[in-house]
Amino acid sequence: MLIRSIEKFLRAYDVSATTFGRLTVKDPRFVYDLRNGREPRPDTEARVQAFIAGYEAGRETTHAA
């Protein structure tokens, strides 16, 4: 489930919900709306998942160096 992945990301990297929404979909209310039942479109969900994967991959290469 997308919201579960987002919540895990927010805790792991200490990112606010508002910042996450701005960075991923240019919508500061995105996470709040998901928490209240909003269903994202498949392309939006894919973009968010790609952001999370890319961020985590970038952190791994930075820490591995």
Does 32 have pLDDT greater than 70?
A: yes
pLDDT given for residue 63 in this prediction: 59
pLDDT given for residue 65 in this prediction: 54
Rounded to whole angstroms, the Cα distance separating 29 from 23 reads 12
Mean pLDDT value across residues 14-39? 98
Domain spans of the chain?
A: 2-63
Q: H helices within the chain, ranges in order?
A: 2-13, 17-25, 30-35, 42-64
% of the chain residues with pLDDT over 70: 91
pLDDT given for residue 58 in this prediction: 83
Rounded to whole angstroms, the Cα distance separating 37 from 50 reads 21
Report residue 62's pLDDT band, with 50, 70 and 90 as the boundaries: low
